[in-house]
Chain A
Amino acid sequence: MKTWLFRPFDRIAGGPALALGLVVIVITAVVAWQAGMVTDGVLDLHFVEHTRLSKLLAMGFANWLLLAAALLIAGHWLTATRYRLVDLLGTQALARWPMLAGAGYMSIPAVGRETERLTIKLMEAMPSEPHQVVASMEYLLDALWLTLISLPVLALIVWMVWLMYHGYALVFNLRGWRAVVSFIIALVAAEIVSKFAAYWIV
């Protein structure tokens, strides 16, 4: 069980992982669309007014492919082993499944409503004057409550990043600081490019 949760790619990669991963990306887009959210970045899940399902699907595939491309460049440069592209694409697609769980959690009506309400309230309370450093203390409880509600999604995103790293390190047989540093650089680069891609898609 522990292997399936934290090191699933020791057991599954290649074609089966790719097929499952593609299903995950499509279902995530549908769930997010129904709940009024967008995955506008490799690691992002936000509420929006309204977006077409086709755009959410495009964002889902773009997020997956952009990270895979960044990891391919890093991994190809560092690895000494022969790797299969299908393993990279498969593991990176399937690694996105916690995002589906996150979208599912946020689509629970009570959670979604409360998150949206608190976000709007806190955004409005943000300091507008230069001499105001922090928002008023009366919003502290709201901020804590929003953090608490968002905690499962944060945990799921951390888990997703771990799965992405595990897939990358396994496919290119990388270990140690070279694997960690190159993964972080690729992830940051992919996140930045994916934000532009999301902007372009929308």
Chain B
Amino acid sequence: MKRTPTRCPACDGELMVTELSCRACPTQVSGEYRLPPMLRVPAEDQQFLLDFILASGSLKAMARQLGVSYPTVRNRLDNVIALLQEETEQ
């Protein structure tokens, strides 16, 4: 699956959605829409959040799955939370 780009490849600025198309009919919507905060964090953090939700929010299960210790996973989650807080405040 193609990843949704979140940063501009030329200047590393934030990318916005300017056009949305309906998958069922030819309707197109134009405008300027910011990506939701969870899509603005780096791809590996998005994957981490997805894995975390799929593991029912269990850090122990995540640690087992990733082959790392509990505090390592918890710190990673802390870092993603800090990123999300920054993105939400912007």
Contacts and interface: CB of A to CB of B under 8 A. Distances in A.
Interface of A: 9-14, 17, 80-84, 87, 170-171, 173
Q: Is the interface of A mostly helix, strand, loop or mixed?
A: loop
B69 A84 contact: no
A10 B72 contact: yes
Interface residues of B, number: 9
Contacts of A11: 67-69, 72
Interface in B49-90: 67-72, 74-75, 78
A17 to B, nearest CB: 8
Contact of B69 (A14, A82, A83): A14
Contacts of B74: 81-83, 173
A11 B69 CA distance: 5
B69 A12 contact: yes
B71 A173 contact: yes
B60 to A, nearest CB: 9
B68 A170 contact: no
Given A11-B67, A13-B69, A173-B75, 4 more contacts: A9-B72, A10-B69, A14-B70, A87-B70
